Structure 1
């Protein structure tokens, strides 16, 4: 195994067969010791967070496979906190795609003059550039195309997949009496250039509430998987 990249919450290894191994860590994003799925720094370490995130990710990727939604998922090993995935090429230096069902987090900070906290949103999709130095700025469809990061056609697919995936997650959570406020996803191209979901789907990249109370990632995994 060849170490390719050490990330904030996962390390990435290249396998001899050409696939990739993701090793989940117990580090989560946040600031000043407080978890925040939208933060671009590691805020704290939670024992067991890596395995918890992997269990959730495996659960949701298997749900997406049943619906024939393209992802990079191949298999997972919970005991080793690792997941084997297909090789993917990221868009530019990496994009994050957020689907929002309520006005919270950075959306509220930016547009608070026009909305109230927790105001319902209709699966609003926004794309941000992964760039820690510039605080992951949002970027428009036209800018993405003009900068050569992805084509207009790819953007349409990206937006469609984001809504489909987010609604699958939202419905699964709703069945447990939970409400998805927002979720952060990542996409890349497969070996044939098709857009597919990459990275993870876990409590670490979504905000979930129950009866108005925020549910932490570790508690969320217990509520979903028992």
Structure 2
């Protein structure tokens, strides 16, 4: 599907959203910017947007096949994703299968402790308030969602976790945790949006537990783009690599 890029309607830390000639469809541009610490740390990594977009597209396609509704329509070319226009819900939904990151700083869990069932955490997406953790009452009182929508979000999130965790395990990756976002489509349905990439997930090698995600950047370690490219090489099928002329 072709679409004409229109006016910029949203600029995030690492993505831009543009209007198209269809009021219900947008183009999401994945930029090469990478940030951490509420944007306090920022760099530009060559082709980061390229790889994040093709990884996200692959995950969205897997989820659509499993019956999860997403905003994804098509990847026009690496870096440019055609998507349904959503009214985004300002909640970050974090699913934790293995204890890592801020969970260890904030709570007395053991490093690499496994959770069954997984922990679902919801944070208020706000740089001004530094993304505080929500409970149901606060989310409803702020007018972000209804109780029914919170239940729907949890149900969808658990399905996403099962589908992607099983897929990644089959490819030799652990899925410690991930952050996703939802929005309302033009009919008011709760739909998965944003991205699923090394920017928003932790991916660990199943044998070594080596990080293959944004954690490398947070910790100031080298090899960030090497890790992103490795994730792409693992999750993409040969037909995907051929389609985008990738030698990985």
Q: Distance in 2 between matches of 1:193 and 1:179?
A: 34
In structure 2, which of residues 64, 75, 92 is the aligned counterpart of residue 96 of structure 1?
92
Give TM-score, length-normalised by structure 1: 0.90
1:13 aligns with 2:18: yes
Whole-Å Cα distance in 1 between the matches of residues 52 and 161 of structure 2? 17
Unpaired stretches in structure 2, ≥5 consecutive residues = 1-5, 213-226, 237-247
Q: Does 1:129 align with 2:114?
A: no
Distance 2:77 2:21 in 1: 21
Q: Is the 8 A contact 1:203 1:218 kept in 2?
A: no
Query: Which 4+ runs in 1 deviate beyond 6 A?
Result: none
Task: Count residues in correspondence.
Answer: 213
The residue number in structure 1 matching 2:112 is: 118
Tell me the TM-score normalized by structure 2.
Answer: 0.82
Give 1:4's aligned residue: 9
**In the alignment, which residue of structure 1 is the partner of 2:244?**
none
- Cα separation, 1, equivalents of 2:154 and 2:75: 27
Q: Distance in 1 between matches of 2:167 and 2:43?
A: 28
| Per-residue deviation, 1:219 | 2.2
Q: Specify the alignment match of 2:186 in structure 1.
A: 191
**1:40 paired residue number:** 38
Q: Shift of the alpha carbon at 1:74?
A: 0.9
Shift, 1:142, TM fit: 1.6
Residue 166 of structure 2, aligned match among 171, 176, 179? 171
Mapping for residues 53-72 of structure 1, pairs under 5 Å? 53-72=52-71
1:23 aligned partner: 29
* SS, match of residue 116 in structure 1: coil
Q: Which has the higher strand share?
A: 1
Partner of 2:228: 217
Please report how far the alpha carbon of residue 65 of structure 1 lies from its aligned counterpart in structure 2 after TM superposition: 1.2
Structure 1, unmatched stretches of 5+, are: 31-38
Contact 2:124–2:131 under 8 Å retained in 1 = yes
Deviation at 1:95, TM superposition (A): 1.4
- Secondary structure, counterpart of 2:203 in structure 1: strand
Encode CA deviations 1:144-194: one digit per residue, 9 max, x unaligned.
Answer: 112211000000000111111122111111011110110010001111111
Aligned-pair Cα RMSD in Å: 1.4
Q: What SS is found at the alignment partner of 2:104?
A: helix
Shift of 1:61: 0.8
Q: Give how far 1:78 is off.
A: 2.5
Q: Displacement, 1:43?
A: 2.9
Q: Deviations over 1:113-137 (max 9, x none)?
A: x211111123211111111122211
